[in-house]
């Protein structure tokens, strides 16, 4: 048996970077009290979700990885508590800006970073104004407790991303998220679809999935988003084993036997029976192969 305990957190965010880091720190420690070894915090938790509006002033939130307050703070926390922490942050790199994630191992070392691959663009979610498309490809890291893959928010709607990470050996998938109501149409509720997409990643790949979303109402001029929380942890067959409410600040935990999950993947034969020679069309935009 090779057991690991994972956690998903959710919280509201204010305009205080220091206050948000302090709140996230408290949730990490609550998760450790529950035995968690790999703990997921939500997307861009240092700040309000600034992508509701296109405002050049918000470019100031971006920092280089080495100077980012959350990354440097949680390097010390990871080392102190012996936990693995994927930390979402707004990255500045020369003339580029990325929606990035630093993967901190249990000794406080940054194993690497992932840059969000899929960048949305729509009312209230104006991310193309702030972020270049990620150029790292899909990353998988061997941490102290498990080999993990991480996608960021909009990445979670793409089964190709999940499959690529599991093909590279990911034993658990983590998705930090910022998603809620649609400012242009309050009747739209994407929560069930959001969860179902990721439950599909778990079931299709026979790996657990951990998703952490923010809560609270955030207003920017005439735009308002109610983030619906509903963070969850799914097992390797796509069953939710822990789920948060839509407005509570909380910590979820679940334990998995990674050796048993590996046996299940082999028994099902999903990866044995793949036909990558037939999948070339997936690399096209229009469903046509160019020769």
Out of 13, 23, 43, 139, the active site residue is: 43
Out of 13, 51, 153, 197, the active site residue is: 153
Q: Which two tokens stand for residue 157?
A: 């709607």
Active site annotation includes 113:
no
Active site annotation includes 128:
no
**CA distance to 94, 153, 157, per residue, from 199 (Å):** 37, 14, 11
Active site annotation includes 153:
yes
Out of 46, 116, 164, 249, the active site residue is: 116
Distance CA 115, CA 137 (A): 8
- HEC profile for 199-267? HHHHHHHCCCEEEECCEEEEEECCEEEEEECCCEEECCCCCEEEECCCCCCEEEEEEEEHHHHHHHHHH
Q: Are 114 and 152 in contact (CB under 8 A)?
A: yes
Q: Which two tokens stand for residue 243?
A: 């789920």
Residues assigned a catalytic role: 43, 116, 153
């Amino acid at each position: 048996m090779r057991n690991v305990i994972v956690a998903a957190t959710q919280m509201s965010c204010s305009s205080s970077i220091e206050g948000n880091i302090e709140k996230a720190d408290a949730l990490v420690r609550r998760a450790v009290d529950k035995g968690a070894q790999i703990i997921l915090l939500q997307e861009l938790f240092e700040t309000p979700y600034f992508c509701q509006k296109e405002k050049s002033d918000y470019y100031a939130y971006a920092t280089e990885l080495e100077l980012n307050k959350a990354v440097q703070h949680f390097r010390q926390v990871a080392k102190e508590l012996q936990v693995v922490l994927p930390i979402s942050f707004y990255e500045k790199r020369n003339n580029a800006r990325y929606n990035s994630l630093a993967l901190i191992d249990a000794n406080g070392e940054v194993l690497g970073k992932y840059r969000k691959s899929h960048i949305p663009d729509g009312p209230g979610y104006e991310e193309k104004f702030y972020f270049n498309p990620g150029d790292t490809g899909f990353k998988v890291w061997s941490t102290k407790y498990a080999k993990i893959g991480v996608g960021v928010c909009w990445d979670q709607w793409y089964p190709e991303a999940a499959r690529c990470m599991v093909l590279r050996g990911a034993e658990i998938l983590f998705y930090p998220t910022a998603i809620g109501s649609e400012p242009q149409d309050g009747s739209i509720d994407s929560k069930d679809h959001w969860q179902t997409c990721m439950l599909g990643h778990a079931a299709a790949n026979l790996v657990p999935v951990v998703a952490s979303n923010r809560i609270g109402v955030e207003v920017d001029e005439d735009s308002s988003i109610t983030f619906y929380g509903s963070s969850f942890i799914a097992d390797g067959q796509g069953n939710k084993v822990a789920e948060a409410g839509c407005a509570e600040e909380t910590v979820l935990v679940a334990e998995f036997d990674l050796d048993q999950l590996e046996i299940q993947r082999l028994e099902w034969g999903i990866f044995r029976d793949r036909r990558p020679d037939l999948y070339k069309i997936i690399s096209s935009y229009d469903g046509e192969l160019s020769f």
